[in-house]
Chain A
């Protein structure tokens, strides 16, 4: 799928083909996409554990359920538990110098190994590593970037996915052997969509002019209609929801799975 269409086709899929497992190869593609994501300090901010629903015994599956996350876990065949590793700053000094060696951080932009060793590490990064609020803030931003790549990789492979609040950490942590330094971020459900991939049409978004500005906040972004038209042709902008049959689609899926209407 072309990039613009991947971005435009992404939806939060909530009805999965519960009977169809996700190929391990497709999960690897998602992980590699996440691993290729932009990241400051070339640090490894995130960790993820993939678990297939049908590999869990009944007792474990029940332990993961709670009144707000039950149908989700039944329908999705694959769960990815995403975390921030709060120790991500460890090793940043060496990784930054590695980037200096690779000329990714060149002298042309002020970088040197001496700067990393003598100033950046002792005066900036090490202090940040001791400020939990800063660690969580940076970790959340950078982990989100990685997850975004994983989401788009899932869509590109015909998978559906949806991010969910992490509601059962007390159960998940001992069950999956999660280290104390890992902070839960999102539970990503993955599977083949039982609903149409369009899931009733593209979700409402506000105009670019309400979110983006040019030069200063006094000048909202002025859309070029030709670009908008191009993006429509290429699938980034798609037919808005709800499709006329969306309510019926959801009703029929709910009945198939015995869910509330």
Chain B
């Protein structure tokens, strides 16, 4: 189960370093991750507790997917015949589905699942992956 900290945007966790919740680790893929740095920079000024909560959530998702943040972005990209980088429709769809599934494995449903999934989608969105999740309208 997920704790309340990671469900919404109004958690009250003490501020933590961006990269690692338990101190800097040279082997930690979150330390110095360009994708994580870009995400947090693009999100602008935010409550440090919310930011730490989002990073913690991304960390858990990456662990579940056995990947790193930068590899997560790379999964949604492909190289074109001309050598350009393009968004991979298949990769994006698979990652989107993995996000939805992850929310379910966290024991969430309804609005909580939507919010959690969209917090993860935010990471991809701010790294250039055009992506929409569902809205909570009920």
| Chain A contact residues, CB within 8 Å of chain B | 18-19, 65-72, 74-75, 247, 255, 257-261
Contacts and interface: CB of A to CB of B under 8 A. Distances in A.
Contacts of A66: 93
Contacts, number: 52
Contacts of A255: 9
Given A75-B137, A260-B133, 13 more contacts: A65-B134, A67-B92, A67-B132, A70-B134, A71-B133, A74-B135, A74-B137, A75-B135, A257-B135, A257-B136, A258-B111, A260-B121, A261-B9
Interface of B is mostly: helix
Which 3 pairs from chain A and chain B are nearest by CB? Answer: A258-B136, A260-B122, A74-B135
B63 interface: no
A247 B133 contact: no
Nearest to A62: B134
5 contacts: A67-B132, A257-B137, A258-B114, A260-B121, A261-B9
Contacts of B115: 258
Contacts of A67: 89, 92-93, 96, 131-132
Nearest to B136: A258
Interface of B: 9, 43-44, 89, 92-93, 96, 111, 114-115, 118-119, 121-122, 125, 130-137
A185 to B, nearest CB: 20
B44 A71 contact: no
B57 to A, nearest CB: 12
A260 B137 CA distance: 14
B120 to A, nearest CB: 8
A113 to B, nearest CB: 52
Contacts of B137: 18-19, 74-75, 257
Nearest to B116: A258
Nearest to B130: A68
Given A67-B96, A68-B130, A255-B9, A261 B135 contact: no
